[in-house]
Structure 1
């Protein structure tokens, strides 16, 4: 039976794109909840009195739980990219939700250490899909004018998932939380059956008729509408250009100067976001605040402080919607990197001063961490996703996103494995000075090397990546060809 979509909103409405983007990012919400689960639940599982386990978890077991997701994410990034290109973005989403369902089901069925580590390993599969499949799928169903806004939705859903877990982790029982979480991916698998496949994928597979219908539904227009036809023609041209290049993706990236420069930017942006300090802070928020609050007389508990952190994160991701299409990608990335770097350095200085018995305000860690997490959600995280998705055509998009996310996952694995031991043995200030330095270097790199990608075609973006010498040579060749034609 042929698939046919009907639009029920006003012609030209973007409501269908928004609905589709929301459902695409539901697994990101579940992933965010899985990341947020670590903060309140590890405090509970390590509690010698209130732990639901007979034997509380050790620091080593918690570190391996946290790190397992990022280790598994490395191959999962490539797996999700391959599946997205082979079986389609839509079918890959079902696999993603199935992994999420299994993750929570395992935690419901066993309290053994191996079960926690296995469940966290499945979070690595969710992570690969959340930051490879979902951003690509969202980009490919979006019009250029709202591409950045919908692309930022991945961060919004991630942060809301984090906040949800911080809140319910403090007020609901251990098993109630797990039952809520196992229900979400099951609901997603049912609802997502109604969504169309990515038009770019359908064009790649030669299903032009289905691609036309999917585009028409997403744009709330008739299938023969000039705007739909024009966009479909652009997808065909992009695919034809990719087909003309018979090189393997990796070989093409390494040999083509412009593609390689774009890849370097994508890699730097992805790594910078992962090493800005947000990952360990979000996973170990409760533990960090417990350390910072020691002997300070703060009224809020570590979990309540973590909730404030989650709320700030959501506010930052919501604000991105209002400014990403106005300020642009480059400006947003620069300012948030710089402010985040200065905040991390201030936090490191607070911990260092405390070691030397120098008095500093007890509220400083809370303020600096909130500022850092706000900047991460407002610019660093969404821009790393949006910029990387906008730098490449369909042929390269999945592979590049997988490669950059896999590289980032390696750094995350070591951060999760060693953050707690370093914090307790050497001191938190060492880690936070490092994170601050990375953010400041990212701000400098953004000004020097990263082009603006807002509402621009690949040709326009790649033109900015050319050196003056390359532009001059192309101009000279063009003039020579024109002279030959006139002659």
Structure 2
């Protein structure tokens, strides 16, 4: 399964590349000869998120129409094109177009990779494997931080290009998703794919049972409106599930991690002014990457133990408190109050740890578990599109706002969003760990609560 998520490493490098190279491209040593402005850097950072909005539907369509495997191969092709374009020209327009390609990579890694992973893995480990997307993404970000601080500008680009090229070669060995093969009527090939994935004979009872479960799930999806989003809006339970998926996606994106990861070097540079910290901004950003990777490793080990709901609520709350502490530190420093130099490093690391260990993986896992095959791709595409638009606005205005009115306003906003998401999770979101759709939808209908009240009433009448 690591092969499936290699594109997530490539996606991580496109995000992590911005942090060390923002400082380089705006310095007198910039390879562009003329240092880039804050506005140009903001557009470079935000454009992938804007292009991710239509790209989500493009990659979802390719995945549903031509197969999950082809859509993931398409993703690596776009990632290779991103790095080739940066190698070919130092013009700002080449940078902007390359970052648009990065938006397609982002969309596919957040839509098709988790869908493919969910459809090829056993249900008892789907949460842990779903978390591997965040693990590989954080690995890519840290990798970009490190090589960006060690190697020359062009050497970094060549190293980043090697990742999608390697994936294009190796992923051809992987089978198509069994669910997609059943959808297009190739049940024999679906059985062979399951046999290869599970290392069992295709006639083994576990393979046959899993194949029947896939067929049953898709049979339930045959009837209904072909316009899937319209069907979701018309159905009360599906709409409630969609609201949960959207909230999870937004909580993941507006916790503060996105601008922190893109502008880590710049944020640490602001925070380090007059503090006498020994580490350079880039080295502090690398430390952030290590924390992010640690959080991703932690997520894959605890997600099947503590459950989705507890992990998401807990990480939202802690992330919110860390952003509140960071905002207060910047505010205190602006008014010349005592502000310990370790607070920005600690709070940013805590936010990134929570994002990597809970918000990033759990939002995708929950969405995959509360929708059937028919809706899964479209819902992931839609929630990712809305979240990407939020990211675009954050990145476009973060640096100008930080320079004009103060960075603490942004971090107070992130804190408010995180704490609100924690409360929503506790009150509304059902636990999905190890449960089928019917049981989850019973929770959304309130059936369990009604049955419990009915049992209490029956006991009372009996007494």
Q: TM-score scaled by structure 1?
A: 0.92
- Matched position secondary structure for 2:2: helix
Rounded Cα–Cα distance in structure 2 between residues aligned with 1:255 and 1:330? 26
Rounded Cα–Cα distance in structure 1 between residues aligned with 2:447 and 2:64? 36
Rounded Cα–Cα distance in structure 2 between residues aligned with 1:250 and 1:130? 21
CA shift, 1:244, in A, is 2.6
Does residue 280 of the first structure (1) align with residue 259 of the second (2)? yes
Structure 2 partner of 1:39 = 19
Please list the CA deviations of residues 412-446 of structure 1 after superposition, one character each: whole Å capped at 9, or x if unmatched: 01001000011111111100000011100111001
Does residue 178 of the first structure (1) align with residue 157 of the second (2)? yes
Structure 2 residue runs of 5 or longer lacking an equivalent are 455-463
Match of 1:70 among 40, 43, 49: 49
Rounded Cα–Cα distance in structure 2 between residues aligned with 1:226 and 1:276? 45
Rounded Cα–Cα distance in structure 1 between residues aligned with 2:396 and 2:13? 20
Match of 1:144 among 123, 127, 130: 123
Please list the CA deviations of residues 393-424 of structure 1 after superposition, one character each: whole Å capped at 9, or x if unmatched: 01000000000000001100100100001111
Aligned pairs (5 A) from 1:34-433: 34-48=14-28, 50-433=29-412
CA shift, 1:338, in A, is 0.5
CA shift, 1:247, in A, is 4.4
Structure 2 partner of 1:485 = none
RMSD: 1.4
Quickly say closer, same or farther: Cα 1:470–1:447, change in 2 above 3 A: closer
Structure 1 residue runs of 5 or longer lacking an equivalent are 1-20, 476-487
Worse-superposed segment, 101-110 or 58-67: 58-67
- Matched position secondary structure for 1:258: helix
Please list the CA deviations of residues 167-210 of structure 1 after superposition, one character each: whole Å capped at 9, or x if unmatched: 11001010111111111111111101100000011111110000
Contact 2:312–2:359, Cα closer than 8 Å, also in 1: yes
Rounded Cα–Cα distance in structure 1 between residues aligned with 2:391 and 2:209? 42
Please list the CA deviations of residues 279-334 of structure 1 after superposition, one character each: whole Å capped at 9, or x if unmatched: 00000000000000001100000000000000000000001111110000000001
CA shift, 1:468, in A, is 4.9
Contact 2:115–2:368, Cα closer than 8 Å, also in 1: yes
Structure 2 partner of 1:437 = 416
Rounded Cα–Cα distance in structure 1 between residues aligned with 2:251 and 2:394? 13
Q: TM-score scaled by structure 2?
A: 0.96
CA shift, 1:246, in A, is 4.4
Rounded Cα–Cα distance in structure 2 between residues aligned with 1:417 and 1:251? 31
Structure 1 partner of 2:9 = 29
Rounded Cα–Cα distance in structure 2 between residues aligned with 1:251 and 1:101? 36
Quickly say closer, same or farther: Cα 1:206–1:408, change in 2 above 3 A: same
CA shift, 1:77, in A, is 0.4
Does residue 450 of the first structure (1) align with residue 420 of the second (2)? no
Contact 2:442–2:448, Cα closer than 8 Å, also in 1: no
Contact 2:178–2:194, Cα closer than 8 Å, also in 1: yes
Rounded Cα–Cα distance in structure 2 between residues aligned with 1:401 and 1:320? 20
Rounded Cα–Cα distance in structure 2 between residues aligned with 1:299 and 1:391? 48
Rounded Cα–Cα distance in structure 1 between residues aligned with 2:420 and 2:260? 20
Structure 1 partner of 2:461 = none
Contact 2:59–2:107, Cα closer than 8 Å, also in 1: yes
CA shift, 1:248, in A, is 2.5
CA shift, 1:95, in A, is 0.7
Rounded Cα–Cα distance in structure 1 between residues aligned with 2:260 and 2:11? 16
How many residue pairs match? The answer is 454
Please list the CA deviations of residues 18-60 of structure 1 after superposition, one character each: whole Å capped at 9, or x if unmatched: xxx2111111100100100000011111111x22221111111
Rounded Cα–Cα distance in structure 2 between residues aligned with 1:469 and 1:113? 57
- Matched position secondary structure for 1:24: coil
Rounded Cα–Cα distance in structure 2 between residues aligned with 1:435 and 1:217? 45
CA shift, 1:469, in A, is 10
Rounded Cα–Cα distance in structure 1 between residues aligned with 2:147 and 2:164? 18
Please list the CA deviations of residues 136-159 of structure 1 after superposition, one character each: whole Å capped at 9, or x if unmatched: 000001101100000000000000
